[in-house]
Chain A
Amino acid sequence: MDFGPYLFVASLEGAITAAVLALTAVGLSIVFGIMRVVNVAHGEFFMLGAVIAWWITSLIAGHPALGFTVALVAAPIIVGVIAVVCNRLVLHKIDYEPERTIVATIGLLYVIQQTTLMTFGPEARPVEAPFNQRIALPWFEFGESGFALTWPWGLSTTTYKLAVIVAAIVILLILWLVMTRTKIGLIMRATQLDQEMAQAHGIAVGRVYALVFGLGAALAALGAVLVVPIQQAHYLMGGDPLLLSFIVVIIGGLGSVLGTVVAAILIGMSDGIISVFFTPTLAKILATLLVAFVLIFKPDGLFGKRRE
């Protein structure tokens, strides 16, 4: 394949990464934005989403679309409930104190990951996509006969992959509507702006926190369910999404949902494209260093405004 079409495929793969990443990172971002805590176990909620999706689809016989649809609804809810329980049993008890929360969520990370290892096992397990038609993609060329469209061999994607991108966009739009147009969104934003003031106005901050933590985890799980037919479920799969979400949330400006989405698209797309040029390890080294240096020199994110 020529370089041009190759890059095209890479950007398409990048768009899928970006879509899933946006969901996962927005989950981390609202937790940080509203609760002011960093959830290191976020990647494990992602992993749980994928593993539970596998479990549900393996229980339901019949057309793969049936099991997948159930998983798409049920897995995020189950993960959300697990997160609410974790919030109640742990984070709430330490009063969301930032540093202790990090230590406690590291603990949660190991508990969730290792419990999955004990029950689900060390194997990677596939989930069948609900639909999966191959689509050949066109490419343009300036030949002797001028501009022409061609269908190079290997330049293709699947309907499912395109559906993932569409689904992520739809989910993010719904989230945006909920946050801006509904009472519950208003309550969340009020809590984000001033926790004490919100409390004074009769908002049950404790419940908002539980809801937000659950929602954050559910978004990660949703991203995972979408990606699991492409990726396979594995108990260690939470590491990369955690790192990437960190990068995205930090670069997008801590707690800014819009910044997070923009950064997710940027990082997701470049992740696909960078991997064309660099080995994955080198790409990850550069990515981790980027996070560190952004935090050191531009703590409000690359797009964030300096707060005084």
Chain B
Amino acid sequence: MSQATRSVLLHSFVIALLVVMFFVLPEYHSGNLARILVLAVFAMGYNVLFGYTGLLSLGHALFFASGMYGLGLSIQFMQASPMLAMIIGLITAVVVSCVIGFLALRTTGVAFMIVTLMFAQAGFLTVLFFGKYTRGDEGFVIQRAQRSMFGFDLSQPFPRYFAALVLFSICLFLIAWLVHSRFGKTLVAIRENEQRARMLGYDVQRHKLVAVIISGTMSGAAGAAYALLFGYAGASFAAVQYSILPLLYVLLGGAGTTIGPLIGTVFMFYLIDISSEYTEAYMLIAGLVLILLTLFAPHGIAGLVRKKLVWLP
């Protein structure tokens, strides 16, 4: 069996499993799973940059928020249809990632981390600054009437879950394909040894920029979908915490693997969900997991599996 076939089989199996889950799980958990799928898209976007290109961004909340507010504000103030709003959200994310990529990629390593962190912080503060429109921390609700697409009411559990799953599936196959493409392999080469990739004649800067744009756009798509499916946009989604979460998901699940982000999101989501029942200091868990992962399992869950089972895309 060729790697490409195995990859298609594995990913189809994951998606089939997710379809079954909706009917098996009680409503509370399938609702969570819809949220997890959207957040996993965010993590997959993050993974394109971190896992495959080796660039550690601390500012992905900016891309998530670009999609979220691109969609949310165009529905709120332009009465845009969900489809149009989705497109506006995506375009916003593309534009923002072009600009950030162009600027931030002049730096590397630690400076890149800080620059992305600062840009995202500036983005978060901008959301607060225009509180008149964004309603700042409090955020705004997108009315149920404005959230139906192709005749499906996305505020209902069934359409909402499957809308999330469709988005997730598209992104999963896109990434599976990307990883096997020339472009994806070049990204891995850049991650492994940037100097060498350059001296093989690859335009490293251009590849990195495209990676930022793909990563940012996918994160933006997740942000837009989040606002549309759950009917809410707020500044907390632009805050530092939402830049750290995808890093956490990807580290936990396994950087540079196609399904690692999903695994990481599921685990982390439930860890936080369960701990928040006991304490309001639920981010304590996130902090502990971050430290433990850096200390003991830098390759995450999928990394461990890959070590034992040899193959994983």
Chains A and B bind each other: yes
How far does the alpha carbon of A99 sit from the alpha carbon of B295 in the complex, in Å? 13
Can you list 8 contacts pairing A with B, beta carbon distance less than 8 Å?
Answer: A90-B294, A103-B290, A106-B290, A107-B289, A282-B129, A284-B125, A288-B119, A299-B107
The smallest C-beta distance from B51 to any residue of chain A, in angstroms, reads 14
Judge if A118 is at the interface, Cβ distance under 8 Å: yes
How far does the alpha carbon of A103 sit from the alpha carbon of B250 in the complex, in Å? 12
Count how many chain A residues have C-beta atoms less than 8 Å from C-beta atoms of the other chain.
38
Judge if B280 is at the interface, Cβ distance under 8 Å: yes
B residues within 8 A CB of A117?
280-281
In the complex, the answer to whether A250 meets B114 with C-beta atoms within 8 Å is yes
Judge if A243 is at the interface, Cβ distance under 8 Å: yes
Judge if B174 is at the interface, Cβ distance under 8 Å: no
In the complex, the answer to whether B290 meets A107 with C-beta atoms within 8 Å is yes
Extra A-B contacts (10), CB below 8 Å, given A99-B113, A281-B128 = A94-B295, A99-B56, A103-B294, A107-B286, A107-B294, A108-B291, A284-B121, A288-B122, A291-B118, A295-B111
Chain A residues with a Cβ under 8 A of chain B? 38, 90, 93-94, 98-100, 102-104, 106-111, 113-115, 117-118, 122, 243, 246, 250, 279, 281-282, 284-285, 288-289, 291-292, 295-297, 299
Count how many chain B residues have C-beta atoms less than 8 Å from C-beta atoms of the other chain.
38
Which 6 residue pairs spanning A and B have beta carbons closest together? Answer: A110-B287, A107-B290, A114-B284, A107-B291, A114-B281, A111-B287
The smallest C-beta distance from A41 to any residue of chain B, in angstroms, reads 9
The smallest C-beta distance from B272 to any residue of chain A, in angstroms, reads 11
In the complex, the answer to whether A104 meets B290 with C-beta atoms within 8 Å is yes
How far does the alpha carbon of A279 sit from the alpha carbon of B247 in the complex, in Å? 32
Q: Which of B57-114 contact A (CB under 8 A)?
A: 58, 103-104, 106-107, 109-111, 113-114
Closest to B102 in A: A296
* Complex partner residue of B279 from A108, A118, A296, CB under 8 angstroms: A118
Judge if B31 is at the interface, Cβ distance under 8 Å: no
The smallest C-beta distance from A162 to any residue of chain B, in angstroms, reads 32
In the complex, the answer to whether A90 meets B295 with C-beta atoms within 8 Å is yes
B residues within 8 A CB of A102?
56, 58, 110, 113
Secondary structure call for the B interface = helix
How far does the alpha carbon of A117 sit from the alpha carbon of B244 in the complex, in Å? 19
In the complex, the answer to whether B291 meets A285 with C-beta atoms within 8 Å is no
Chain B residues with a Cβ under 8 A of chain A? 56, 58, 103-104, 106-107, 109-111, 113-115, 118-119, 121-122, 125-126, 128-129, 244, 247, 251, 279-284, 286-291, 294-295, 298
* Complex partner residue of A110 from B247, B251, B290, CB under 8 angstroms: B290
Most chain B C-beta atoms within 10 Å of own C-beta, residue among A103, A284, A288, A292: A292
Closest to B121 in A: A288
In the complex, the answer to whether B126 meets A285 with C-beta atoms within 8 Å is yes
How far does the alpha carbon of A100 sit from the alpha carbon of B128 in the complex, in Å? 31
A residues within 8 A CB of B128?
281
In the complex, the answer to whether A111 meets B122 with C-beta atoms within 8 Å is no
In the complex, the answer to whether B129 meets A296 with C-beta atoms within 8 Å is no
The smallest C-beta distance from B222 to any residue of chain A, in angstroms, reads 21
A residues within 8 A CB of B288?
107, 110-111
* Complex partner residue of B122 from A100, A110, A292, CB under 8 angstroms: A292
In the complex, the answer to whether B122 meets A285 with C-beta atoms within 8 Å is yes
In the complex, the answer to whether B107 meets A100 with C-beta atoms within 8 Å is no
A residues within 8 A CB of B107?
295-296, 299
B residues within 8 A CB of A288?
118-119, 121-122, 125
Closest to A290 in B: B118
In the complex, the answer to whether A285 meets B287 with C-beta atoms within 8 Å is no
How far does the alpha carbon of A113 sit from the alpha carbon of B284 in the complex, in Å? 8
How far does the alpha carbon of A117 sit from the alpha carbon of B285 in the complex, in Å? 13
How far does the alpha carbon of A259 sit from the alpha carbon of B114 in the complex, in Å? 19
In the complex, the answer to whether B291 meets A111 with C-beta atoms within 8 Å is yes
How far does the alpha carbon of A296 sit from the alpha carbon of B244 in the complex, in Å? 22
A residues within 8 A CB of B109?
98-99
In the complex, the answer to whether B129 meets A281 with C-beta atoms within 8 Å is yes
How far does the alpha carbon of A130 sit from the alpha carbon of B39 in the complex, in Å? 50
